[in-house]
Structure 1
């Protein structure tokens, strides 16, 4: 499925602390004694004190914030095209910039320029403080966020081989990133200021900020957090030379294939990259966190649900569907995101398109209907089920809570001490700033789509409809994310809407999905950052500047990185022409392209509708709606059994939305590490976990990222590679072979 599906995670619980420590010696407490947030997790994590005199948007903020944004944007886009994509989180930058901030504070001149004048400023206002650190992290988070429109540009340029100028690509990327910012500002009063909207994900970063800025002495026989980060970073940096260059097979050790080198069945079962991944494990951090994020940041509650969903789908549903030959499954690879003809041959997409990139109906009927591997079709069914399951689960288990929280947000808007502090000491951002951005971006988007209609295929009404869909869902999705940490994706909804209204226009359908889905996601992303700044008492206008600038810089760097790789890597994203072991397979972009063919070029009616042979997949909508209801009934019947309530169907199903491009080894390795961290370490070594768990995650991300880029610059650009047994992907060459009688495939035995 498309890579913007998100795993619905449970509420994040935080460690209890007896006091809320002050962040600086000059903290003030304008609240009545004992006043705190009514949300327990917030009260135990977020300090209720503030020092408004601390400088925020300083020279250090500009330099380190821009640097962090550029580096994370480059790294995330650079690794996003690789076989095992890596998302370098803002937590990595949050930790990495701390020593740089202190270094600048101790070395940069503190001379005051234009003293006594209106433009008076200094490059060094004193010691590096937590508010500068927060703003730098906000910059960095803009770079850490994926720019989904890059998939659109890659699909058009690389897969459809359609002409698109750099100017048009830049305009599309920038408008999709900025569009959601407009209505995010409008919804601040409902999703940021009320105490009920508490955004649990932010508490992890708040905890880390406090850990990094509170004074820490090295424990006897132990390490400080900074020392631990440095050691883990060096180890990660040094180790990645093995899976990244010397021994790529470490990314997926599929030992079952080695025992039975000539057995198709063994390869189908054992391959971690092209099969069910029985026993496969990856000793590569990029394999572990490529699609599901860092398992070290996942509570065991969420990890267990992911493990259950993956196990049921991969080891129960998939084998039954394949070996019962459901939808002629045995004509196709057991695990593939490819598009096929009825005889198992690869579908020739270019042959059913005319010169204007529309569907040629005569050619389509001549070539025949499009077929999916049973795994791919089932994953779409799981996506349908997840959408309905999320709505039903939230209604049953959180309906009354959300109604109360919504009433609080819309009516009395009960505020807590944090909002009181922000209102008392800092100027708010005028709403008209956001409205202007919103109106300007919509008008610019309409103009771009109309002026470049031959390249984009999306009429003006499509832009307006996409905006309406995104705006309608931003508030309910925002409430869900801010209170329950769960939120459905709009991917399927946007694809269904435009696919039925305007089939046969793949580029226009892709662009509608990008504008409709990503602008909502960006709005929620901005609101989450607003709340982080709210908790850390960052002046709203400084937050506004950091977010706008970070978004623009991130969009530009992502696009430049993509353009550079596209023009420097031979056969970029072409799996058939790339040399064996090449990492530049662009798995997420392949899935995005396949989706554009299914929903755009051919259209959902000819695949999942009355004209398609996968219409039965629509029953997954009903199954997804029933599943949470059964769990709810079981919980009501046996209220004493708390484990029943922990069965969260949206999490269980939502985890599978990354299949494909994610593979079995990504899940199995992620689950093992998540078990070690969230269950073993958290339960039996709580002290170590609380001090080092998140720091270790950031260090592993950072070390891998820097070594990966170094390997590419020193060896990849010179096309220096190794060719030996350890360079093979996973040694399971027969995993993708069909097993239906009479179906031929190169390199495969004929049944």
Structure 2
């Protein structure tokens, strides 16, 4: 068996960024030009294998619904748990084989139609397995629009019509189909768009479906999975219920209990995280996803960006008191008054119109941000500009050449593209066009109807769709070559904040239609590429993605609505009982963003009326940042590592902070580099056999224990033993304090 490769600095060459365009020519290749793909993806196909079977539908729908429920259920918690489709990929194999062994080969007809299907068309095969996994992918990807429902009900304490909320979740998830259809030729058929994360699943598929004999004194992959799953399940009761504090241990805070500065440096939750660590898989993978499936070069880019921002830029800016930084916490997503206290949003929001109140704002004064949050917005500006610049410099020629080839019908492809075109009927382009028109119309109805609860007019929906269309290709290229996806959340907030200020729900709805429809398109394209590699009929892929998206959106909506109605004081840590995990850190960031961009507006934050106008220079810095890397890569083509410096990824490294904390990045980077660089180099055989199985088992065991402990204990208000270790943070309370002289904040010393 060929060992699945791991991306590492020594084996990544220039081709990872795209073809060499120096001579302006591209030769059609028999196999894929990307070495990692050649070593991982088989170039054979059996078109006679059934794909969209009864087993596919049954296991796929169940997997999709379970992942959607689990990820939304755990998404409100202090340490959210993310369960990827890797877990399903492992678990459904024995289930599929069990169904193949037990179900009768009976043919069932559908009344009133000529359609029929077999309950058991033969052995459970690879193509069924892939389609079930793609079903699971739709369930594992969060529904961003649920954040709007959450802040309306839990933060603004207002009502929203359940049908409007349901339509919002569906339309924002489905609009991406249109953009995916428009850019399939560029991001799926092109052999240079290779989507590294898909190689994880391809490797695992091959490992699971190739016959395996248990080595003497060892275990099969399935046995290894079950052992790790049981261990993860048993252990997670400790950080989840008995001893939550071990999710983040800050050594500095335990030594210097009365020093604000020391705790700011040492806190892994509220500070820089020097000397902090966590003994909880949720700390490693909760916000950033499992590091075991991220290429080593991408981890290095992310960690370089993290260290540069958190350990260089942030300390210099804070202790030099830029923007009065010392009047506020060093890292926080909250908004503040000039005196250091929390900003009272109710004073600037007219309760009758649910819009901005100028009189209230004049009385309350300007909004202030923590210095980290201010730089986080600046870096998001830089990331957006760097994405466009990077794609233009490194991929401009190939995009133009491919556009001409696509229009002329002479597009070159690799062996995978040729096999797909020869063996299967493509999805007609008009399917995507009809889907786009229908969803756009339904989106306008959702925003304009229901008494305009969402505040967004029809032109806002159309503008958001235009932004998603414009950015899908460049961001798709970044994702398809680095496994890192820059977001559009800030630029969409910025645009609608200038055009339609003072309306918080209009701002977040515009952001969701613009950002998430693009993000969904990327997800659909990634799954299409997985099907492309595994030779799945495209029309079966389309059906599975469409049905899975509708089901997942419905389950995410239903789960969130249930929790918001049933958990008392959810998302309000000040009113929750001790040990309660329902603190909603991600939704708190979403809420504060709606205040900054929606209520107050960018004109009063980053425009001439705000404190942070200089952050706009980050647009220029981001546009220029890829130029030196590109110039050096052209000047020294023999040094392939230069092209691995990806400025959009590096600049967006801290984009998940907050709600992610320093300890999450430190543990994610440490675990990722340990397994995908050190273990891969020294113990390659073990890594090839167990790395991805280990990731899936850790996710699954943690999820099962989390659900079990909630169902049996926490749902009844039993949140753990009342002791020092029950606190769901790192006992660094002083890290949240200001250090400017004379600033008085409850619970903090006055300097």
Indicate if the aligned counterparts of 1:14 and 1:45 stay in contact, CA closer than 8 A: no
Distance in 1 (CA, whole Å) between partners of 2:635 and 2:115 is 69
Indicate if the aligned counterparts of 1:303 and 1:674 stay in contact, CA closer than 8 A: yes
**What residue in structure 1 maps to residue 616 of structure 2?**
618
Aligned length: 726
> 1:707, CA displacement in angstroms?
0.6
**What residue in structure 1 maps to residue 341 of structure 2?**
345
**What residue in structure 1 maps to residue 732 of structure 2?**
732
Distance in 1 (CA, whole Å) between partners of 2:69 and 2:360 is 41
For 1:370-381, list aligned pairs within 5 A. 370-381=367-378
1:107 aligns with 2:106: no
Match among 67, 75, 79 for residue 70 of structure 2: 75
For 1:247-286, list aligned pairs within 5 A. 247-286=243-282
**What residue in structure 2 maps to residue 30 of structure 1?**
none
**What residue in structure 2 maps to residue 297 of structure 1?**
293
Relative to the length of structure 2, the TM-score reads: 0.92
> 1:120, CA displacement in angstroms?
4.0
Match among 560, 563, 573 for residue 562 of structure 1: 560
1:134 aligns with 2:130: yes
SS at match of 1:734: helix
CA separation of 1:186/1:315 partners in 2, compared to 1, >3 Å: closer, same or farther? Answer: closer
Indicate if the aligned counterparts of 1:15 and 1:45 stay in contact, CA closer than 8 A: no
Match among 387, 393, 401 for residue 396 of structure 1: 393
Match among 483, 489, 492 for residue 490 of structure 2: 492
> 1:636, CA displacement in angstroms?
5.2
SS at match of 2:735: coil
1:519 aligns with 2:514: no
Indicate if the aligned counterparts of 2:233 and 2:702 stay in contact, CA closer than 8 A: yes
CA separation of 1:679/1:428 partners in 2, compared to 1, >3 Å: closer, same or farther? Answer: closer
Match among 199, 202, 213 for residue 195 of structure 2: 199
Match among 318, 333, 341 for residue 314 of structure 2: 318
Distance in 2 (CA, whole Å) between partners of 1:132 and 1:642 is 39
Indicate if the aligned counterparts of 1:15 and 1:44 stay in contact, CA closer than 8 A: no
CA separation of 1:407/1:562 partners in 2, compared to 1, >3 Å: closer, same or farther? Answer: same
Deviation per CA, 1:378-424, whole angstroms, max 9, x where unpaired?
11112122222233333334444444455444442123333333333
**What residue in structure 2 maps to residue 356 of structure 1?**
353
Deviation per CA, 1:251-290, whole angstroms, max 9, x where unpaired?
0011211111122222111111111111000110001111
Distance in 1 (CA, whole Å) between partners of 2:390 and 2:471 is 17
Distance in 1 (CA, whole Å) between partners of 2:640 and 2:11 is 20
Distance in 2 (CA, whole Å) between partners of 1:78 and 1:529 is 24
Q: Which 5+ residue runs of structure 2 have no aligned equivalent?
A: 1-5, 14-28
SS at match of 1:121: strand
For 1:458-477, list aligned pairs within 5 A. 458-477=456-475
Distance in 2 (CA, whole Å) between partners of 1:431 and 1:124 is 33
Match among 475, 478, 482 for residue 476 of structure 2: 478
Deviation per CA, 1:563-611, whole angstroms, max 9, x where unpaired?
1111221110012212233221111111111111111111111101111
Distance in 2 (CA, whole Å) between partners of 1:112 and 1:362 is 71
**What residue in structure 2 maps to residue 244 of structure 1?**
240
Distance in 2 (CA, whole Å) between partners of 1:273 and 1:486 is 24
Deviation per CA, 1:96-141, whole angstroms, max 9, x where unpaired?
1111111111112223345999444321111111111011011100
**What residue in structure 2 maps to residue 173 of structure 1?**
169
Q: Which 5+ residue runs of structure 1 have no aligned equivalent?
A: 1-8, 17-33
**What residue in structure 2 maps to residue 741 of structure 1?**
741
SS at match of 1:582: coil
Indicate if the aligned counterparts of 2:402 and 2:411 stay in contact, CA closer than 8 A: no
Indicate if the aligned counterparts of 2:387 and 2:475 stay in contact, CA closer than 8 A: no
More displaced 10-residue stretch of structure 1: 616-625 or 326-335: 616-625
Distance in 2 (CA, whole Å) between partners of 1:133 and 1:506 is 43
SS at match of 1:369: coil
> 1:208, CA displacement in angstroms?
1.4
**What residue in structure 2 maps to residue 682 of structure 1?**
680
**What residue in structure 2 maps to residue 3 of structure 1?**
none
> 1:460, CA displacement in angstroms?
1.0
**What residue in structure 2 maps to residue 42 of structure 1?**
37
Indicate if the aligned counterparts of 2:12 and 2:640 stay in contact, CA closer than 8 A: no
1:365 aligns with 2:355: no
SS at match of 1:65: helix
More displaced 10-residue stretch of structure 1: 392-401 or 452-461: 392-401
**What residue in structure 1 maps to residue 140 of structure 2?**
144
**What residue in structure 1 maps to residue 205 of structure 2?**
209
More displaced 10-residue stretch of structure 1: 227-236 or 108-117: 108-117
For 1:541-620, list aligned pairs within 5 A. 541-620=539-618
Deviation per CA, 1:490-518, whole angstroms, max 9, x where unpaired?
22221121111101111111101100111
Distance in 1 (CA, whole Å) between partners of 2:45 and 2:354 is 58
CA separation of 1:366/1:494 partners in 2, compared to 1, >3 Å: closer, same or farther? Answer: same
SS at match of 2:143: coil
> 1:630, CA displacement in angstroms?
3.2
Deviation per CA, 1:400-455, whole angstroms, max 9, x where unpaired?
44444554444421233333333333233333322222211111111221112431
Relative to the length of structure 1, the TM-score reads: 0.92
Deviation per CA, 1:28-70, whole angstroms, max 9, x where unpaired?
xxxxxx9433444333322222222211111111111011001
Match among 647, 650, 661 for residue 663 of structure 1: 661
Indicate if the aligned counterparts of 1:12 and 1:299 stay in contact, CA closer than 8 A: no
Indicate if the aligned counterparts of 1:429 and 1:544 stay in contact, CA closer than 8 A: yes
